Structure 1
């Protein structure tokens, strides 16, 4: 008789998913919330400007939906949900406004940011010499993290402008986050990027030549209908204590 063995995924992401799933099950048992846990992603984009040193990224889906025609790829947090980020990537790209066929770059690729469409492609390295931060409500998850962690110049780079595939990029080299940031649909979320510019800084796209864009992408977990119970999901409040109090009522 053949034996069937169970296979357990012990990756960091799977462990986080299982922990959150178990915690949400406890919360549902106490509060009867009907929360649902699913794997998800977050994407927020900002237009690169030669005059800006601070970039503030939208977090809420409601805000992003107001300009979906110009930024069709963005994906934010719904009002009643929370999103827990497990890993992250910052990319830059050159695109036509409103188009969804984006080729993300993890370094200033001179075949994407050309002399014909960008002031100076080398100035884009400033985005990989800056820092980023994340505050949700009064809680600072990321105070001042270097963006150098996101710089990845692949071994195989684009060598011809006609090479449609560009650089060797498969989208899976994300930087693990610790602690896991929690974005709430009902909180004041502040995701910011700070860079240092200088005289003659020219990282933006030239007039009439599309857009240069910087993006934050996070892979993570969404807890649907979890915004009102974020403190319990994150462990800041005790589910066990609340269960005891509920039993005494």
Structure 2
């Protein structure tokens, strides 16, 4: 089993997710789903897994900086057990960017998916991570063809015995397109508006209500119950008004 980096979530799933499965982290424009996904990636790296991240959302340097702000530091693993494929620069940059880890034309779905599958097999990665599929969806002249390409990619990675983590922003997808792109995933974890909820799972869930409240912290996504059990977590949420009264959110 692969831990997702949050104990309460692992407990709901009975220890984590099955290796070789596919996991969709669905969220809103808050991108809390992306943070939780990368927490799971960091946990896998610490466990000795080899990971290929495909970054379509922003330059890899910006991704690394963003994640460090949430306690996720990939630097010790880069060029060793972690590789980041740059799918951003040749979508938005000026001129053609080259390099071993730069996708030449991310909008060419055939070439892009072939490069990803080739890298997975050639360098023997255990986990493919896509951050995220929404950026490409907004640029496609035919979203339906794009969805089919993603479904084929996820299923082909699964046939190789590899694990797939994918971030999806549900606020952007048309309702039918969102349902279609989630078809190949064994697990669907929704992370939005302060609640983590398991929507789909390979194995029977361990609780009747498979969800919990969370807060976004400097150490990533943290269950509210655990966060407030620590003195530092409690202090971080306190504020004083102009009269000197102390408030915890809306409670005086």
Superposition TM-score, scaled by structure 1 size:
0.25
Q: Bigger radius of gyration, 1 or 2? A: 1
Q: Where is the helix percentage greater, Structure 1 or Structure 2?
A: 2
Superposition TM-score, scaled by structure 2 size:
0.25
